[in-house]
């Protein structure tokens, strides 16, 4: 079911504890204690590593990277390194955009500068002490780099006096398939890891406890700890709620979670997919986002006001209004694939309009009343296929824009949001192409994210739509071949 009942903790919304374990006994510090270039050098030297892993995330949230020699890595800590900017100019199948301004054949696909982020150091558990460091583009490429984009939105939020916290929860399907077997079957008649409808199954998580334990251990060791893990309703589908953290760290954790769940599955002879909707027969897969703000001065919740209805402060109402009003304009960044729009149909737990409600899972935005420590809201439009950096940039940036503009939300939905008639202004685009056009036309998007990013990302979504239209589907052949 495209629903979550496993919520982020009601504990204080502060950074989650980092794992203390280290893969090497004589480490001067654990990987998640690395905070500087000097620390990074110390831990690499103490492990005697000749190479480390360095990775970054592209437009679609796919991790790209390589092994880097120790000498080159040490130099890059101080001076950065060069990475071909084609990873910002191709799609999920490594096909080159023909409509992007930032990079393309017209630029020759040059190298772009990249900075290493020492504080992102993690151990890769199944590589004998190997360390992984995240990086992000700098220089001109920074304008279109997803991680850098989120960082700029966070800085704008902090300048307004707030510290943002977030957590993501993902549904993903597991199959008894390999990349080769799935392709040999044409991605049809795939065998799910478990059969049938069986949400929250204690039987399944006990029978397959070894897999669950591996997922939980991986998450702890790589510092994207999981607060809740259970079967969802559908064959082979699991849901994981990642522990709350500051938004920048929450994005890294979500992006690493998606990457390494796939890696863990394939190492076990399985496959995991985060497609928004892989089958007409089963519900879609969500990537819900929980957000809250705390005041930088005093560390008080900016959302909680016990004297107001549903404990919603004026700041939370304005934040909610920004998310609601801008959702149709920014949808392409949250629903970034053709497949995203297969999920957004009535009755399948995915919103179709920019609605909000209090503890209402049929609405696009769900207000969750609580205390100073737990008052928050859930951006339920998010799907599992979204780039976590961009999804969080939208959810946070649009709310912040509402605070800046002092907007007020429309009336909440009571009951079934699918049956509630909404103003046309709250209707969400129904196709990726339409969503890309709304993004290009959005003044708020250009204000929040910059012209360069909006133009580049909208072009990449237009490319995705055109690639789709070049192909003939099975449905078209079955419907028209004989009869028309």
Q: What is the DSSP string of 412-469?
A: PP-S-GGGS---GGGBPPSSHHHHHHHHHH-HHHHHHH-HHHHHHHHHHHHHHHHHHH
**Is position 384 within any domain?**
yes
Overall number of domains in the chain: 1
Q: Which residue has the higher pLDDT, 281 or 435?
A: 435
- The upper half-sphere exposure of residue 452, i.e. CA atoms within 13 Å in the direction of its Cβ, equals 13
Confidence check: pLDDT of 10 > 90: no
Q: Residue 6 is inside which H or E element, if any?
A: none
Total residues belonging to the chain? 484
The burial of 156, by beta-carbon neighbours within 10 Å (0-12 exposed, 13-18 middle, 19 or more buried), is given as middle
What is the model's pTM? 0.93
Q: Give the model confidence (pLDDT) of 24-79 as tens digits.
A: 556 789 999 999 999 999 999 999 999 999 999 999 999 999 999 999 999 999 99
CB of 380 closer than 8 Å to CB of 444: no
Confidence check: pLDDT of 436 > 90: yes
**Is position 380 within any domain?**
yes
Give the per-residue pLDDT at 25.
59
Confidence check: pLDDT of 291 > 90: yes
**Is position 347 within any domain?**
yes
What percent of the chain lies above the pLDDT cut of 90?
86
**Is position 231 within any domain?**
yes
Q: What is the DSSP string of 317-364?
A: HHHHHHHHHHHHHHHHHHS-STTHHHH-STTTTS-SB--EEES-TTSS
108-136 b/e (C-beta count within 10 Å ≥ 16 → b): ebeebbbbbbbbbbbbbbeeebbbbbbbb
Residue with structure tokens 């110390």? 42
Tell me which residue range forms the domain holding 352. 153-320+335-418
Q: How confident is the model at residue 349 (pLDDT cuts 50, 70, 90)?
A: low
**Is position 238 within any domain?**
yes
CB of 215 closer than 8 Å to CB of 229: yes
CATH number of the domain at 303, please. 3.30.590.10
Rounded distance between C-alpha atoms, residue 80 and residue 420, angstroms: 53
Confidence check: pLDDT of 122 > 90: yes
Q: Stretch 114-128: mean pLDDT, rounded?
A: 97
Residue with structure tokens 């930088």? 296
Those residues with Cβ within 8 angstroms of residue 290's Cβ, 6 or more apart along the chain or in another chain: 7, 8, 166, 167, 168, 169, 244, 368, 376, 377, 378, 379
Give the per-residue pLDDT at 267.
97
Q: DSSP 3-state assignment of 286?
A: strand
Q: How confident is the model at residue 17 (pLDDT cuts 50, 70, 90)?
A: very low
**Is position 195 within any domain?**
yes
Give the per-residue pLDDT at 24.
59
Q: Stretch 455-480: mean pLDDT, rounded?
A: 95
**Is position 470 within any domain?**
no
Give the per-residue pLDDT at 7.
34
Give the per-residue pLDDT at 354.
94
**Is position 362 within any domain?**
yes
Q: Give the model confidence (pLDDT) of 146-161 as tens digits.
A: 999 999 999 999 999 9
Rounded distance between C-alpha atoms, residue 350 and residue 328, angstroms: 14
First to last CA, the chain: 37
Q: How confident is the model at residue 347 (pLDDT cuts 50, 70, 90)?
A: low
Q: Stretch 414-437: mean pLDDT, rounded?
A: 85
Give the per-residue pLDDT at 464.
97
Residue with structure tokens 């504080």? 119
Confidence check: pLDDT of 340 > 50: yes
Give the per-residue pLDDT at 188.
92
Distance, CA of 213 to chain centre:
23
Give the per-residue pLDDT at 281.
87
Q: Give the model confidence (pLDDT) of 351-378 as tens digits.
A: 789 999 999 988 999 999 999 999 999 9
Give the per-residue pLDDT at 20.
37
| Cross-strand bridge partners of residue 229 | 240
Among 22-26, 50-54, 222-226, 310-314, the least confident range = 22-26
Confidence check: pLDDT of 329 > 60: yes
CB of 87 closer than 8 Å to CB of 64: yes
Give the per-residue pLDDT at 348.
61
């Amino acid at each position: 079911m495209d629903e979550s009942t496993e919520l982020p903790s009601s504990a204080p919304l502060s950074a989650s504890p980092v794992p203390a374990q280290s893969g090497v006994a004589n480490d001067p510090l654990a990987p998640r204690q690395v905070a500087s270039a000097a620390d990074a050098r110390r831990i690499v030297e103490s492990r005697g590593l000749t190479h480390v892993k360095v990775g970054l995330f592209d437009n679609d949230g796919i991790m790209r990277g390589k092994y880097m020699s120790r000498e080159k890595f040490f130099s890059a800590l101080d001076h950065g390194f060069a990475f071909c900017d084609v990873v910002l100019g191709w799609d999920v199948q490594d096909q080159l955009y023909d409509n992007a301004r930032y990079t393309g054949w017209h630029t020759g696909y040059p190298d772009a500068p990249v900075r290493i982020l020492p504080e992102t150091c993690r151990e890769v558990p199944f590589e004998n002490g190997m360390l992984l460091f995240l990086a992000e583009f700098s220089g001109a490429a920074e304008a279109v780099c997803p991680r850098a984009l989120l960082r700029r939105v966070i800085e704008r939020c902090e300048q307004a006096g707030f510290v943002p916290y977030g957590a993501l929860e993902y549904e993903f399907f597991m199959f008894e398939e390999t990349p080769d077997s799935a392709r040999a079957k044409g991605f049809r008649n795939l065998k799910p890891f478990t059969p049938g409808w069986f949400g929250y199954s204690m039987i399944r998580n006990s029978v397959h406890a070894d897999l669950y334990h591996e997922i939980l251990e991986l998450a702890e060791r790589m510092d994207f700890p999981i607060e809740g893990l259970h079967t969802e309703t559908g064959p082979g589908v699991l849901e994981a709620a990642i522990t709350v953290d500051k938004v920048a760290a929450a994005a890294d954790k979500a992006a690493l979670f998606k990457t390494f769940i796939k890696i863990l599955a394939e190492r076990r002879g399985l496959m995991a997919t985060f497609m928004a909707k892989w089958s007409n027969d089963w519900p879609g897969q969500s990537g819900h986002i929980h957000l809250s703000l705390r005041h930088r001065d005093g560390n008080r919740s900016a959302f909680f006001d016990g004297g107001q209805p549903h404990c919603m402060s004026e700041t939370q109402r304005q934040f909610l209004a920004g998310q609601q009003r801008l959702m149709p304009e920014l949808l392409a960044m949250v629903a970034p694939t053709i497949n995203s729009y297969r999920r957004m149909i009535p009755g399948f737990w995915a919103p179709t309009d920019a609605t909000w409600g209090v503890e209402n899972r049929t609405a696009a935005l769900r207000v969750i009343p609580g205390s100073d420590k737990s008052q928050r809201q859930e951006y339920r439009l998010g799907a599992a296929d979204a780039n976590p950096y961009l999804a969080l940039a939208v959810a946070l940036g649009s709310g912040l824009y509402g605070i800046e503009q002092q907007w007020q939300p429309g009336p909440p939905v009571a009951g079934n949001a699918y049956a509630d008639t909404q103003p046309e202004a709250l209707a969400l685009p129904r196709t990726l192409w339409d969503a890309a056009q709304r993004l290009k036309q959005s003044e708020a998007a250009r204000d929040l994210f910059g012209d360069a990013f909006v133009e580049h990302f909208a072009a990449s979504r237009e490319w995705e739509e055109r690639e789709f239209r070049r192909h003939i589907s099975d449905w078209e052949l079955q419907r028209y071949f004989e009869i028309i």
